[in-house]
Amino acid sequence: MTNMEYEILKNGEDKITEKKSVFIGAVASVHSEEEALDFIAAKKKEHYDARHNCFAYVIGDENQIMRSSDDGEPSGTAGRPMLDVILGHSLHNVVVVVTRYFGGVLLGTGGLVRAYTKATEVGIQSCALLERHRGKSLRIALDYTLLGKIQYILKERNIFVEDTIYDANVVILAYVDTKDVAELEQQLINQSGGKVSLEWGEETSFGISEGKLLLF
């Protein structure tokens, strides 16, 4: 996998059939354990007549909360494989419920692991994903004479500019990946002759969707 991390931008759901059993993978964005449990409860209510509603969820910037359940399937054949798929896709703040409608044919341990893995995969594939960045907000105050030069630097380095405020001076509000912070700061100072004012915010997680900023 790459070093990129992702969040769910749009929830999704898809299904597979294995030896007459139907597996429905439902995936949603959640930002607390309570939200995850609410989603699981809703899916159990929706599929009250299903044999199993297995789940896995990961919550927090550093995956501080990770839970999974086999919901009656043989131990280790459902919840853990589902969790492994989530982690393998570098997804944060996500819950997956895989509902199984039993088709009368036993799949065996290996078959169950493959089915729950695949159902989780197709559920994730049905979602819209958002690349997640870790970085800092940056407030740049500058004179109008430096505007073109500073805008060029930001564009060349693919820095996301949230807003530009034109007043007595210009203020540019941007978000910068952590790995670029030190180098960008040095470049802005050098290229402006030290005539820009830089204010960095606390480190945060953010994403860009259709030109708009989303904070996590």
pLDDT (average), residues 29-58: 97
Contact 129, 207 (CB under 8 A): no
Considering the domain architecture, whether residues 63 and 161 belong to the same structural domain is answered as no
Q: How confident is the model at residue 210 (pLDDT cuts 50, 70, 90)?
A: confident
Considering the domain architecture, whether residues 23 and 67 belong to the same structural domain is answered as yes
Contact 168, 176 (CB under 8 A): no
Considering the domain architecture, whether residues 114 and 137 belong to the same structural domain is answered as no
In this structure, what CATH number is given to the domain that contains residue 211? 3.30.70.120
What does the alpha-carbon distance between residue 83 and residue 14 come to, in Å, rounded to a whole number? 17
Considering the domain architecture, whether residues 9 and 103 belong to the same structural domain is answered as yes
In this structure, what CATH number is given to the domain that contains residue 44? 3.30.230.30
Which residue, of 86, 107, 126, is where some domain finishes? 126
pLDDT (average), residues 102-125: 96
pLDDT (average), residues 136-149: 97
Domain of 31 in residue numbering reads as 5-126
Considering the domain architecture, whether residues 12 and 60 belong to the same structural domain is answered as yes
Considering the domain architecture, whether residues 190 and 97 belong to the same structural domain is answered as no
pTM score above 0.85:
no
pLDDT at residue 67 in the model: 98
Q: How confident is the model at residue 3 (pLDDT cuts 50, 70, 90)?
A: low
pLDDT at residue 209 in the model: 87
Considering the domain architecture, whether residues 110 and 187 belong to the same structural domain is answered as no
Which residue, of 78, 95, 126, is where some domain finishes? 126
pLDDT above 90 as % of the chain: 91
pLDDT at residue 62 in the model: 87
Considering the domain architecture, whether residues 37 and 69 belong to the same structural domain is answered as yes
pLDDT (average), residues 65-90: 97
Question: Taking the CA of residue 20 as centre, how many other CA atoms within 13 Å lie in the half-sphere pointing to its CB?
Answer: 5
Considering the domain architecture, whether residues 114 and 10 belong to the same structural domain is answered as yes
pLDDT at residue 36 in the model: 98
Considering the domain architecture, whether residues 21 and 78 belong to the same structural domain is answered as yes
Question: Taking the CA of residue 172 as centre, how many other CA atoms within 13 Å lie in the half-sphere pointing to its CB?
Answer: 24
Q: How confident is the model at residue 1 (pLDDT cuts 50, 70, 90)?
A: very low
**pLDDT averaged over every residue in the chain:** 95
Which residue, of 75, 100, 126, is where some domain finishes? 126
Residues in the chain: 216
Considering the domain architecture, whether residues 106 and 207 belong to the same structural domain is answered as no
Considering the domain architecture, whether residues 9 and 98 belong to the same structural domain is answered as yes
pLDDT (average), residues 128-156: 96
pLDDT at residue 4 in the model: 83
| Confidence check: pLDDT of 165 > 60 | yes
Domains contained in the chain, number:
2
Considering only CA atoms, give the Rg of the chain. 23
| Confidence check: pLDDT of 2 > 50 | no
